A and B are shown apart, each in its own frame.
Chain A
């Protein structure tokens, strides 16, 4: 019996889609059968982040309207065994799907797959309601900015009101240098304010842009700090206990070491 995990945030542009793609690949690399669902109808992007945009035939709306079977709409990712994408429709809007239809779809997928990871659209309207309807767990993505943390707080309240208890926080795009000089909230600050458990901390990493350019999630890049963070997050999702990297100390030491050896700090 599979598990349905929704990746949500409230605010747009904090990294929900990138997170969904990386977690999906991470779980698939661990041998799990995974379906990623893009619920951002009208503004789909998980397909391009995954590099699967040229293979779309049917989409989420086709499935819930009974125009095709789920199996026909699932795009198999040939690079990673056991990974599938169900893309969103691009020419419709969020009202084309209902929470009841999402619940039914999730129940159907749960039978056959280990993890169903849902990429939620920004906002708290219909698209959000659809995305969380069939979910068992939630990952709330935020960045260390007041706007993103505020929206995360609102989302946490809404998740709990919808019986999605105990959502987990992912803090994205942490700039170690800024945290060190007190110009960015650190993880403890954010946890203190939002009062929920942590699933991961992803450092700000140029390689994310590069990997998105290519349509290859950074989790497979051994040299990417964000990729390393996503590998740890995938393990935590599967129930493994992985210690959190102490970004402030590690960053500081690495920074100084790099400086010592004359390497340009990234």
Chain B
């Protein structure tokens, strides 16, 4: 009875948190990219995008993560970029 209560009442098990954090950190470790590499990539991306629109550079979030591959069989590295746009420049239209 106590076991049943535990199953339904408890928050996410801490091992799930451990797994998620490990999986993320291992993507970076395995990809073997340095923080400098990501910074360079970030500044290049901003350089290109700002030609066309104003972006909020302080809120920029770029990271290497992993995602399911197209066939859904394996996981592959993915470049995740969240770039808040302030205003689209008229010259870009």
Docked-complex contact B22 and A150, CB < 8 angstroms:
yes
Question: Could you list 11 A-B pairs, sorted by A, with CB under 8 Å?
Answer: A146-B21, A153-B26, A153-B29, A153-B30, A181-B6, A182-B10, A182-B13, A182-B15, A183-B13, A185-B15, A185-B19
- What is the chain A residue whose CB lies nearest that of B26? A153
CB distance from B8 to the nearest CB of A (A): 13
B contacts with A, residue count (CB < 8 A): 15
Docked-complex contact B22 and A146, CB < 8 angstroms:
yes
Contacts of A181 in B (CB 8 A): 6, 13
A159 in the interface (beta carbon within 8 A): no
Partner of B18 from A153, A154, A157, A185 at Cβ < 8 Å: A185
* Inter-chain residue pair count (beta carbon < 8 A): 37
Docked-complex contact B25 and A150, CB < 8 angstroms:
yes
Contacts of A193 in B (CB 8 A): 19, 22-23, 26
Docked-complex contact B13 and A149, CB < 8 angstroms:
no
A263 to B19, CA, bound (A): 34
How many A residues are at the interface, by size bracket? 10 to 19
B14 in the interface (beta carbon within 8 A): yes
Docked-complex contact A154 and B29, CB < 8 angstroms:
yes
CB distance from B82 to the nearest CB of A (A): 25
- Interface of B (DSSP majority class): helix
Partner of B14 from A149, A182, A186 at Cβ < 8 Å: A182
A206 in the interface (beta carbon within 8 A): no
- What is the chain A residue whose CB lies nearest that of B16? A182
Binding site for B on A (CB under 8 A): 145-146, 149-150, 153-154, 157, 179, 181-186, 189, 193
A209 to B3, CA, bound (A): 32
CB distance from A139 to the nearest CB of B (A): 20
A154 to B26, CA, bound (A): 9
Docked-complex contact A150 and B19, CB < 8 angstroms:
no
CB distance from A61 to the nearest CB of B (A): 33
Contacts of A186 in B (CB 8 A): 15
CB distance from B2 to the nearest CB of A (A): 12
Most chain B beta carbons < 10 A, residue from A146, A154, A179, A186: A146
CB distance from A186 to the nearest CB of B (A): 7
Docked-complex contact A150 and B26, CB < 8 angstroms:
yes
CB distance from A143 to the nearest CB of B (A): 12
